[in-house]
Amino acid sequence: MRTPPKLHWKVSRLSKSTKVSQYLKEEKGFSSRLIKRIKQEGAVYGNGKQMALYHHLTGGETLSVILPLSSFPEDIPVWHKKVPICWEDDHLLLVNKPAGVPMFPGRGLEAQTLAGAIKSYYERSSLSASFHAVSRLDKQTSGLVTIAKHAYAHQRLSQFFQEGRGHKRYIGITEGIWEKKRGRIEAPIGRKPDSLIEHQVDLKGKYALTEYQVLEEQEGYSYVQFELLTGRTHQIRVHSAYCGHPLLGDDLYGGNSAEMSRQALHAYELQFCHPVTETWHTVQAELPVDMRRG
């Protein structure tokens, strides 16, 4: 039997009586759409007794919200592949995605995707959860991917990242030695004309900001930590190439693919404020073998 996701909070002291729906929206960040779905398919309990969304809270109640049942997209083929799990609870799943694995089926309807592997994991574990990718990686980029198990966790964590309540850090191997060992790359990014894939620095593009720090230098290459402060397509790849230091193996943006068959980029650390408990967590994903040089 499938079990719907549940949320629990202790309502703090309120300055005035507040409707449950208003509390969920203003204090817990529920969207109007999700509140409507809870009214139709979920339930709310205060101190163990079911209550309507128009019921008033006075403060001190133990509030429980039963969310609508989550479902996994049916058109995603199951892939019986075990992906390393870095962190998990009832609301979130953080995994270490291998390079070469796409997030979702594409036009060719790939049978081997991260979504398919997670679908298999849910089935093996008898989990009634969905697949909401809070963070996404290119097929050839390895590292941490954050998956929300239900709509509220996805909505809330995405909002936290937009508010700066989170940090996404990557390690890349770039060509050449950076003159300035730490800095910010602030350059707008847009799609390259006549290309469906490639992007470029473009004054008419979207604002993009990346912070970087050189960690190590060896034999004409640099290990660099990148932190995304915006989330543009191919942002690190474009910004790194723009600075004259393309990622090793990234032939799309001028990198040398003779020594490495994919772009040397790994999402290695995530610091985030939990969407339900609002506690801070730091999760890391081990650097893959193909990026360990020397």
- DSSP element (H, E) containing 14: none
Collapsing DSSP to helix, strand or coil, 253 comes out as: helix
Nearest to 94, CA basis, from 268, 293, 279, 259: 268
Active site residue 90: no
Alpha-carbon torsion (179, 267, 79, 275), positive or negative:
negative
Question: Which of 89, 138, 251, 290 is labelled catalytic?
Answer: 138
Let me know how long the chain is.
Answer: 294
Q: How far apart are CA 240 and CA 262, in angstroms?
A: 15
Give, in order, the Cα–Cα distances in Å from 279 to each of 91, 165, 175, 273, 282: 13, 11, 38, 6, 10
Residues 265/241, Cβ–Cβ less than 8 Å: no
Buried b / exposed e over 53-65, threshold 16 CB at 10 Å, is beeebeeebebbb
- DSSP element (H, E) containing 144: strand 142-148
Active site residues: 138
